[in-house]
Amino acid sequence: MMADIDDLPVNPDLSDETFDGEYTIVIEGLVNRFGDFAVHENLDLKVKRGEILGVVGGSGTGKSVLMRSIIGLQIPDEGTIEVLGKDIRAKEDDDEIGLRNRWGVLFQGGALFSTLTVGENVQVPLKQFYPELSQQLLDEIAGYKTVLSGLPAETASKYPSELSGGMKKRAGLARALALDPELLFLDEPTAGLDPIGAAKFDELLRELADTLELTVFLITHDLDTLHAICDRVAVLADKQVIAVGPIEELMESDHPWIQEYFNGPRGRVAHAGSQRPKGAGASAKTTGPAKAIDKPAAGGA
Amino acid sequence: MREWADYTIEEAGGRTTLVVTGPLLVSTIGKLDAALRTVEGPVQFVDISKAAPIDTVGAWVIHRFAEEQQAEVLGASEQAEILIDTVTGSASAEPISPVLDRLITRVPEQVGTFVTGAVHEGKHNLGFLGAVIMAFAGVIRHPSRFRLRAVVHQMELVGVTSLPIIGLMSFLIGIVIAQQGAVQLAQFGAETLTVNLVGRITLRELGVLMTAIMVAGRSGSAFAAQLGTMKLTEEIDAMRTIGVSPMEALVVPRILAAVIMMPLLGFYSACMGILGGAVLADVSLGIPFLTFLSRIQEVVPVYDFYVGMAKAPVFGLIVAMAGCYQGLRVEGNAEEVGTRTTKAVVQAIFMVIVLDAFFAIFFTKIGWA
């Protein structure tokens, strides 16, 4: 009934396994050094399946380095990192890990390919992994992913240099979501956005995470984001993850940095703001984690 | 191999149902999508109760087909329904790439753009020359704003660090000229005139010309890339807001360094060329090394040296101006840095060669033949 296209070249990095473990990311004893300076020392972290994990920490505590280690851009000096049940460290930088079609990454500046339009940017990973998709379908996918990421439809044919900072982030998100990944890495997605734009981005993220059942690793400085959409928050300090838990629990902690961070003047304002009634995104949050872990399909339904 | 999504058509009671099976994921949907686009309707129902799991691409393919056929989707799981709703709400028919005009209108349009662009570029070039002169005037009026350290630093980058490569290049060119010249001159039994050939051509023409080309490739491109990147990262805007003139802080030192270093490098290059010729003459023509050098003194008129040295600062100015000008014209994205850098080098070398031709005629006419 169908044309035989089994002999198409298949990207060797392609993986069609499914993952059912409880923890999407498991990091144990991670050590990252730059020269003599250790950024991470015996860092442990587990990211649960289906949760939005916020990662916070002062400047220079190695949040981005941690993310780069997880996605295989930075080879750690010691320790093990398992993503979706596979060991990242077993492979070199650009070798196939069999994971790259299962995660999406949004870099700090968007990192869009500047010579391609937004729509073409979205199509790059699709073409890379699934050469069998027709151009017509690719165009349709690029179209709806652009809109899904909160951009006006006509943005699809614009070049990154024609976009504002916030739009670049959304376009970056559209590309990160191109492959319908299970796992999403976001490096400061709301930094540099105006409060309205940031709030919309938060809402969008929560919605997408719920509809698409994403596990999200979210680096942020934005206290509002932490309160609004994160199921759990991991705090990086002293070269380790010093605490992981729902934000209410962390606020009880007596670690001085955590106290200052969450109960400082800005933290209190954000916390007060999060107490106000909010939209569907926030209501899903309170019940989100437990449901998401037991039965991801139910998350945010 | 992957398990592809597939479909069967069931007909019952005059109604056609398309039953989809298999995983509806981006990784498994390729064949199904291609096949569904060729299905002849009408189809009343699409049954996806046997299809799982599903992602947004799968949802999109089902949604698109159902909409095209005006069919109803049956048996969608809760998750499938959410995903279909999501993609339905996000559907977009906007083009992905900028729409290209038809060739017949595009060609004249591009020719027009090119012509007006060239005119603009000419104006801008002239404007830039004016700005450079104003910047120099400003520095002269306020000597305290002169950045000696920057000039010295650029002189090191343009001059000192290029000594090895220019030296080697000139030495080899000297050898080539001596070798090729000797072969031709031998036909008239005039091998000894190789000395004249090497001495005059290196001092008068090639030393400075080759140096200018090398400096354009090394430093002109570096100027364009540096300034272009600074423009992209808003460094230049930051300078302006602090009250530092980028022309004075960035352009003047670079141009000054190139203008000062070019004669020195050109003379150095000529000397190395003569050395190369002398070495070859010693080895294969039987003219002793020192004899070659002393003959140079006798046969090369001193105005050849002046001709070379008069051209050198002008070439330096052109190379540095082209680099700085193109660098400051960078706008938009990283690709622009590349195009502008290329333009800077091509423009500089082209202008240098054109001017060299003018100089050649000029100096001959005034009697320095």
SS3 string, chain A, reads: CCCCCCCCCCCCCCCCCCCCCCEEEEEEEEEEEECCEEEEEEEEEEEECCCEEEEEECCCCCHHHHHHHHCCCCCCCEEEEEECCEECCCCCCCCCCCCCCCEEEECCCCCCCCCCCHHHHHHHHHHHHCCCCCHHHHHHHHHHHHHHCCCCHHHHHCCHHHCCHHHHHHHHHHHHCCCCCCEEEEECCCCCCCHHHHHHHHHHHHHHHHHHCCEEEEECCCHHHHHHHCCEEEEEECCEEEEEECHHHHHHCCCHHHHHHHHCHHHHHHHHHHHCCCCHHHHHHHHHHHHHHHCHHHCCC
pLDDT tops 80 at residue A44 = yes
Average pLDDT over residues B244-267: 94
Q: Does A151 touch chain B (CB under 8 A)?
A: no
φ/ψ of residue B345, rounded to 5: -70, -45
Mean predicted lDDT score pLDDT of chain B: 91
* Residue B279 within any structural domain of the chain: yes
Q: What tokens does B276 get?
A: 């190369």
Model pLDDT, residue B136: 93
Q: Is residue B53 reached through a cis peptide bond, with omega within 30 degrees of 0 on the bond before it?
A: yes
CB A221 within 8 A of CB A188: yes
Chain B residue whose CA is closest to A142: B96
Residue B120 belongs to some domain of the structure: no
Residue A236, beta-bridge partner list? A57, A241
A140 and chain B in contact, CB less than 8 A: yes
Q: What mean pLDDT is predicted for residues A263-284?
A: 60
State the residue range of the domain holding B61.
6-90
Place of tokens 């960078």: B330
Between CA A164 and CA A177 the distance in angstroms is 20
**B233 contacts on A by Cβ (under 8 Å):** none
pLDDT at A180 over 70: yes
Q: pLDDT band at B177, cuts 50/70/90?
A: very high
The secondary structure of residue B229, as a DSSP letter, is H
pLDDT at residue B28 greater than cutoff 70: yes
> Residue B359 domain-assigned?
yes
pTM for the whole thing?
0.69
Q: Which residue of A has its CA nearest to B94?
A: A154
Q: How far apart are CA A262 and CA A266, in angstroms?
A: 8
- Return the closest-CA partner of residue B83 out of B54, B107, B109: B54
Q: What is the 3-state secondary structure (H, E, C) of B168-186?
A: HHHHHHHHHHHHHHHHHHH
Distance CA A219, CA A199 (A): 16
Residue A70 included in any domain: yes
Domain end residue (candidates: B36, B61, B90)? B90
Structure tokens of B244?
Answer: 């530092």
Domain presence at residue A13: no
Residues B155 and B257 in one domain: yes
Mean pLDDT of B166-188: 94
Residue B339: what pLDDT?
Answer: 93
Contact across the interface for A156 and B92, Cβ inside 8 Å: yes
Give the alpha-carbon dihedral of A218, A219, A222, A224, to 10 degrees. Answer: 20
pLDDT given for residue B214 in this prediction:
96
pLDDT at B52: 77
Domains held by chain A: number = 1
Considering only CB atoms, B332 lies closest to which of A146, A156, A161, namely A161
pLDDT beyond 80 at A135: yes
Quote the pLDDT of residue A161.
Answer: 83
- Token readout for B364 is 């001959």
pLDDT tens, position by position, B107-124: 999 999 999 999 998 999
Partners of residue B37 in chain A, C-beta under 8 Å: 134, 136
- Please indicate, yes or no, if residue B61 is contained in any of the structural domains: yes
Q: Give the highest mean pLDDT range of A60-69, A185-194, B107-116.
A: B107-116
B69: number of CA atoms within 13 Å, CB side?
Answer: 24
Q: Quick one: B131 and B76 in the same domain? A: no
Do B301 and B193 lie in a common domain? yes
Q: How many domains does chain B have?
A: 2
Contacts of B28 in chain A (CB under 8 A): 16
Q: Please, which residues have CB within 8 angstroms of residue A133's CB and are 6 or more apart in sequence?
A: A126, A127, A141, B26, B29, B30, B33
* Residue A42: exposure state from Cβ atoms within 10 A (0-12, 13-18, ≥19): middle
CB of A128 less than 8 A from some CB of B = no
Determine whether the interchain pair A297/B78 forms a contact, defined as Cβ–Cβ distance below 8 Å: yes
Contact B35 A1 (CB under 8 A): yes
- A-to-B residue pairs, Cβ atoms closer than 8 angstroms: 131
Q: Would A216 be classed as within a structural domain?
A: yes
Confidence band for A282, pLDDT divided at 50, 70 and 90: very low
Domain containing residue A266: CATH number: 3.40.50.300
- Tell whether the model's pLDDT for residue A227 goes beyond 60: yes
B79 touches chain A (CB under 8 A): yes
Question: Quick check: is B331 in a domain?
Answer: yes
Minimal CA–CA distance to A244: which of A28, A46, A52? A46
Whether residue A175 lies inside any domain: the answer is no
Q: Is B282 on the interface with A (CB under 8 A)?
A: no
Residues B68 and B198 in one domain: no
Residues in B 298-357 with any Cβ partner in A closer than 8 A: 332-335
For range B264-281, the mean pLDDT: 95
- Tell me, yes or no, if A13 comes closer than 8 A to chain B by beta carbon: no
Q: How far is A2 from chain B (nearest CA, A)?
A: 6
B105: in domain: no
Left, alpha or beta for A14 (phi > 0: left; psi -120 to 50: alpha)?
Answer: beta
Is A160 part of a structural domain of the chain?
Answer: no
pLDDT at A14 over 90: no
Domain enclosing residue A214, as ranges: 24-102+181-298
Residues B82 and B132 in one domain: no
Residue A300 has pLDDT above 80, yes or no: no
pLDDT in tens, B91-104: 888 888 888 888 88
Is the pLDDT assigned to residue B250 strictly greater than 50?
Answer: yes
Residue A291: pLDDT band (50, 70, 90) is: very low
pLDDT value of position A286: 41
ipTM over 0.90: no
* Structural domain includes residue A172: no
Instruction: Note the pLDDT of residue A2.
Output: 47
For residue A9 the two structure tokens come to: 């070249």
Residues B192 and B296 in one domain: yes
Both B306 and B160 in one domain: the answer is yes
d(CA B151, CA B220): 15
Checking if the pLDDT of A239 tops 50, the result is yes
Q: Which of B4, B89, B335 sits opposite A114 (nearest CB)?
A: B335
A37 within some domain: yes
Chain B residues touching residue A142 (CB < 8 angstroms): 96
B167 and B304 in a single domain? The answer is yes
CB–CB contact B91 A143 (8 Å): yes
Q: A294 pLDDT band (50/70/90 cuts)?
A: very low
Give the pLDDT mean for A285-294: 39
Closest CA to A56 of A213, A260, A192: A260
> Does the pLDDT value for residue A13 go beyond 70?
no
Of A164, A159, A169, A155, nearest to A204 by C-alpha is: A169
The CATH number for B84's domain is 3.30.750.24
Q: How confident is the model at residue B255 (pLDDT cuts 50, 70, 90)?
A: very high
Flag whether B104 is in a domain. no
- C-alpha B232/C-alpha A154 separation (Å) is 25
- A127: pLDDT strictly greater than 50: yes
**Cβ separation of A132 and B61 shorter than 8 Å?**
no
Token reading at B193? 């005139």
With respect to residue A120, please indicate whether it lies within any of the assigned structural domains: no
In a domain, B147, yes or no: yes
Query: Which of B25, B26, B54 is most worth mutating to test chain A (most A CB atoms within 10 A of its CB)?
Result: B26
Clarify whether residues B71 and B188 are in a common domain.
Answer: no
DSSP B193: G
pLDDT of res. B335? 81
Percent of chain B with pLDDT over 70: 99
Among A263-272, B138-147, B269-278, B359-368, name the one with the lowest average pLDDT. Answer: A263-272
For residues B271 and B196, membership in a common domain is answered with yes
